[in-house]
Amino acid sequence: MMDIQAIKQRFGIIGHDMYLERAIQVAVQVAPTDLTVLITGESGTGKEVFPKIIHQSGARKHGAYIAVNCGAIPEGTIDSELFGHEKGSFTGAHEARKGYFEVADGGTIFLDEVAELPISTQVRLLRVLESGEFIKVGSSKVIKTDVRIVAATNVNIPEAIEKGKFRQDLYYRLNTVPIIIPPLRNRKADIYLLFKKFASDFAEKYRMPPLMLTSEAIEVLENYRWPGNIRQLKNVTEQISIIEKNKNVSGQTLSMYIPRETGTNLPMLLRKEQNDERLSDRDLLYKVLFDMKKDLLELRETVKTLVESEMEEPTGHILKKPVIYKMGSKEETYDNEFDKSPRIQVITEESNERIHPSVVVDEILSLQKKEIDMIKQALSKHSGKRKNAAKELGISERTLYRKINEYGINL
């Protein structure tokens, strides 16, 4: 069995955090077995390295290794991708096709973003885990496979189970051996080490001197939360390497490349204990939309109360009992002889129209339109690259793909 330092060197892992080293140790220990492993951690923490460690350190290292991003495959085709299909099983199936579970027989399949799988696909996956069997789309023939499954997610699966988005029995089968990857903000001693590694790599790539940080800059680097984790740190290092001519970077210069608003993985309105922290752009947008919806509901109730109170005469005598109130009618009627201002048409009990006690208020601002605008802006910013746009919006690539089709957004 390889020691931890040899594994780090082989797979390019930087850092000495004890929780990171514990994760590596578990991966190495479980590699010789066929136990299913579930890797959890925030986006950008490097979860994709650990399935490779498990595969290369076990008996299946000479077999196939296939990594599948479950969130990037449209819901309508994911069963075909994973399990294959027969010729003519659906529109466009001009020939039979092998799925990943058939191709990787004797090897390892890494299911990234496994929580994005549709419920129907989760049922198929559970059968593979329990019996090693699956059926191609459009076929009735049972196929056997011997595949090691390693899954990863940045979703809180117990919460997804409560919401009915993930099967509990599948979770227990996947979570035979859990590996938890710590976020970068919990590895402060490793942040500067990673920065120096990235700076050295980019200096070599672009043929320039490597970046050097002042003590003040190192403090700024280590005190930032890094919500995007290692991926964000690498991107920031590359930006500074290319843009800054002075390679001796001060704290002030570094701060220009780090967003002021430190965010969380959840909207701040759901995290009351962190109200004192500054909001990220996405958190602010969530809060604006939430407050907007709340204001519209309050407006509806206020208008309803005002309309009902206006149905009374100044003397306190009540007119005929109103049944439906129509706003903005072309043929306006008046509530009483004292007030000639056109406001509301009153349909009384003598009317043949159906009784409806509510007040209809048009919602001027549409949340759906806001969502469409957000998607268009993200796609435009990233030149139509859905993966990058989905990352900025905080949704999976498959969800973004579905929303683009649902709203008919032209790229």
* CATH class entry, domain 185-256: mainly alpha
Q: What is the pLDDT of residue 40?
A: 98
Q: Domain 4-182: which topology?
A: Rossmann fold (3.40.50)
Domain 366-411 in CATH 1.10.10? The answer is yes
Rounded to whole angstroms, what are the CA distances from 79 to 53, 73, 119, 135, 142?
A: 27, 10, 11, 10, 15
Distance CA 387, CA 378 (A): 10
Report the range of poorest mean pLDDT among 8-22, 76-90, 294-308: 294-308
pLDDT tens column, 383-404: 888 888 888 887 888 888 888 8
All structural domains of the chain with their residue ranges:
4-182, 185-256, 289-347, 366-411
Q: Do domains 4-182 and 366-411 have the same CATH topology?
A: no
pLDDT tens column, 91-144: 888 899 999 999 999 999 999 999 999 999 999 999 999 999 999 999 999 999
Report the range of poorest mean pLDDT among 36-45, 174-183, 200-209, 291-300: 291-300
Q: How many residues does the chain have?
A: 411
Is the pTM higher than 0.85? no
Q: What is the pLDDT of residue 277?
A: 38
Rounded to whole angstroms, what are the CA distances from 23 to 18, 30, 168?
A: 9, 11, 24
**Which residues are CB-contacts of 163 (< 8 A; sequence separation ≥ 6)?**
none
Q: Where does residue 343 fall: left (phi above 0), alpha (psi -120 to 50 degrees), or beta otherwise?
A: alpha
Evaluate the CA torsion angle 23, 28, 31, 35 in order and state its sign.
negative
Q: What is the mean pLDDT of residues 37-62?
A: 97
Residue type at position 339: D
Rounded to whole angstroms, what are the CA distances from 162 to 113, 156, 165, 166?
A: 18, 10, 8, 8
For residue 157, report the phi and psi dihedrals to the nearest 5 degrees. -65, -40
